[in-house]
A and B are shown apart, each in its own frame.
Chain A
Amino acid sequence: MNFKTPRTGGMLTLAALITIMPLFLPNSFYYDIVILIGINAIVCVGLNLLIGYTGQISLGHAGFFGIGAYFSGILGIEYAWPAFAAMLAGAVFVGVISFLVARPIMKLKGHYLAMGTLGMGIIISIILTQEGDLTGGPDGMPVNPFTVFGFSVYGEKTWYWIVGAVLLITVWLSLNLVDSPVGRALRSVHGSEVAAETLGVDVPHYKVLIFVASAVIASLAGSIYAHYAGFITPEEAGFIHSIELVTMVVLGGMASTFGAVVGAAILTILPQLLTVFHDYEMLAFGAILIGTMIFMRRGLVPTLASLFQRKLS
């Protein structure tokens, strides 16, 4: 193993951070923030495969997060499904839905794709809000605790390790994928679609593939969130959440797996640090999005990495 590659070095750093982090978390308030960072980071690592690597925007991925959350909620409470089965059912459902949506929607480019995915997300959150009998409507619904082999998962500390492990696995899978022929095909779609297709890359296939994969990751993260939080509302599936996720990916750095984690961390912490921030949250996210696009187009992690490399050489 080469510990100096960004890949192994980054994985070890992340694992070390997750391991020692609890030493610096005095109470459950801090645990809560870090767990939310982890859940957002899982979604962002998936979304970054779509936006950062493949160059396809989605303004509706919170919808898939919401579907995962509500599958876990509804199947658990109304139909007494085991948590794992409900979570898997949600992921399969999102897989099918995102596949059906992806085929027509991924034909769109640029602004049209942004509009298409935006509409898709809005439809999902409207359905979750309107189907009040099942979903509790705009007020939301409670979710059963996560239960495996008869043991219920309770408490921030346990959830901390679960989310940490899932994040590590997601990051590992993402790094693997990017550094493979499939990953290069995805990046080639971002680089030049016409060159990619004439070199043998089935461009629509890869767009659909990564749209579905990122949607399924969002769904799984939504299920985890639902069980952890114990209560969900349609806001989880809403437009604002979608924008937050995109901003995290863009700020952290497009086409950087660790950038997605850093972006999620910063933008999850920021609203907690500044309580006044809450009223102006969307304004601040918009400002950060614009600022990043103007002053640091590649995002934090890639920009810092190349600065650091220039210092070394």
Chain B
Amino acid sequence: MSLLKVQSLNLSFGGVNAIDALSLTIEPGPIHSIIGPNGAGKTTLFNLITGVYVPSDGQILFEDKEIAGKKPWTLAAMGLARTFQNLQIFFNMTAIDNIMVGMHLNSDTRFLPSLLRLKSIIRGDNENREKSAELLKFVGLGDYIGADTDSMPYGALKRLEIARSLATQPKILLLDEPAAGLNPAETGELDGLIQKIAASGVTVVLVEHDMKLVMGVSDHIIVLESGKLLCEGSADEIRHNPDVIAAYLGESGRNL
């Protein structure tokens, strides 16, 4: 059984086909990357898979169940999680509270007990706060447990988003340009983090322009162009594919 399957997917914005008859399959387990020039439709594909957009046509199957058009919070409960190309941190909350929102589906959200702050609410919050602190440490943000998000550096916020999406206990994690804006040292640490996440049993799908990172971590690479599948394969196959070199990598791509 494939984990995620997209079949003849279409989405157009006012006549522009952002996703154009796209079909692809993500098998469970390894690290997958989706690459392609700006405007290829990578973010739009993530938005479709996570229910932020509804496709004009086509199917999205998650564990063989049709999910196209389902609400994002339903999909989160099914095990889909993501980060965002443009930071979507809750800047009105502390770092740890950001992560606790990620535990929403595993929290006691009954209204009356919350109003009265019953013991069960306090107990659940204490447990989740501890788990959140663990997650912060897992992504290397142990120093920011009590921090306000508006005083955290950009690189830390990128990781905070990853930790927050992991808090939903996903089966698949979609990372949209996690290395954008990071310095080489931070990108190196991100490389390690992605492998750690994959090793913990979460299937990772990475959208990224940093080819060194992509070629290094990916077991499977998908290349998009103008909303269509250009080709897919292993890092080696993609590196030497003349179509990819022409459309995206350029001649220097062979050396990555």
Task: Using A173-B115, A192-B90 as known contacts, say yes or no to A184 and B73 having CB atoms under 8 A apart.
Answer: no
A287 CB-CB contact with B under 8 Å: no
Of residues 69 through 98 on chain A, the ones whose CB sits less than 8 Å from some CB of chain B are: none
B111 touching A198, Cβ below 8 Å: no
Measured between beta carbons, the chain A residues less than 8 angstroms from B100 are 181, 184
Of residues 197 through 236 on chain A, the ones whose CB sits less than 8 Å from some CB of chain B are: 197-203, 209, 213
A200 touching B105, Cβ below 8 Å: yes
Task: Using A180-B125, A185-B109, A192-B88 as known contacts, say yes or no to A199 and B117 having CB atoms under 8 A apart.
Answer: no
Task: Using A180-B125, A197-B52, A198-B50 as known contacts, say yes or no to A185 and B73 having CB atoms under 8 A apart.
Answer: no
B92 touching A187, Cβ below 8 Å: yes
Of residues 165 through 209 on chain A, the ones whose CB sits less than 8 Å from some CB of chain B are: 173, 176-177, 179-185, 187-188, 190-192, 194-203, 209
Task: Using A180-B117, A181-B107, A181-B109 as known contacts, say yes or no to A197 and B73 having CB atoms under 8 A apart.
Answer: yes
Of residues 3 through 39 on chain B, the ones whose CB sits less than 8 Å from some CB of chain A are: none
Measured between beta carbons, the chain B residues less than 8 angstroms from A265 are none
Contact of B104 among A176, A179, A194, A200 (CB under 8 A): A200
B82 touching A198, Cβ below 8 Å: yes
Chain A residue at minimal CB-CB distance from B148: A306
A183 touching B114, Cβ below 8 Å: yes
A191 touching B109, Cβ below 8 Å: no
> A187 CA to B161 CA in the complex, in Å?
16
B115 touching A176, Cβ below 8 Å: yes
B76 touching A181, Cβ below 8 Å: no
Task: Using A177-B114, A181-B107, A185-B101 as known contacts, say yes or no to A195 and B73 having CB atoms under 8 A apart.
Answer: no
B168 touching A199, Cβ below 8 Å: yes
Task: Using A180-B114, A181-B107, A187-B93 as known contacts, say yes or no to A197 and B71 having CB atoms under 8 A apart.
Answer: yes
Measured between beta carbons, the chain A residues less than 8 angstroms from B115 are 173, 176-177
A255 CB-CB contact with B under 8 Å: yes
Cβ of A280 to closest chain B Cβ, rounded Å: 34
Contact of B114 among A176, A188, A192, A199 (CB under 8 A): A176
> A26 CA to B196 CA in the complex, in Å?
69
Measured between beta carbons, the chain B residues less than 8 angstroms from A191 are 89-93
> A202 CA to B51 CA in the complex, in Å?
12
B124 CB-CB contact with A under 8 Å: yes
Contact of A197 among B72, B121, B128, B167 (CB under 8 A): B72
Chain A residue at minimal CB-CB distance from B164: A199
Measured between beta carbons, the chain B residues less than 8 angstroms from A192 are 88-90
Measured between beta carbons, the chain A residues less than 8 angstroms from B76 are 197-200
Measured between beta carbons, the chain B residues less than 8 angstroms from A176 are 114-117
Measured between beta carbons, the chain A residues less than 8 angstroms from B111 are 182, 209, 213
B84 CB-CB contact with A under 8 Å: yes
> A199 CA to B116 CA in the complex, in Å?
25
B247 CB-CB contact with A under 8 Å: no
Chain B residue at minimal CB-CB distance from A52: B92
Cβ of B207 to closest chain A Cβ, rounded Å: 15
Measured between beta carbons, the chain B residues less than 8 angstroms from A180 are 114, 117, 121, 125
Cβ of A197 to closest chain B Cβ, rounded Å: 4
Measured between beta carbons, the chain B residues less than 8 angstroms from A179 are 117, 125
Chain B residue at minimal CB-CB distance from A55: B92
> A303 CA to B4 CA in the complex, in Å?
48
Cβ of A182 to closest chain B Cβ, rounded Å: 4
> A213 CA to B112 CA in the complex, in Å?
11
Cβ of A45 to closest chain B Cβ, rounded Å: 13
Cβ of B82 to closest chain A Cβ, rounded Å: 6
Of residues 32 through 77 on chain B, the ones whose CB sits less than 8 Å from some CB of chain A are: 50-52, 71-73, 75-77
Chain B residue at minimal CB-CB distance from A179: B117
Task: Using A176-B117, A188-B93, A192-B90 as known contacts, say yes or no to A202 and B71 having CB atoms under 8 A apart.
Answer: yes
11 contacts between A and B (CB under 8 A): A176-B115, A177-B114, A181-B107, A182-B109, A184-B104, A187-B92, A196-B90, A198-B72, A198-B81, A199-B76, A209-B111
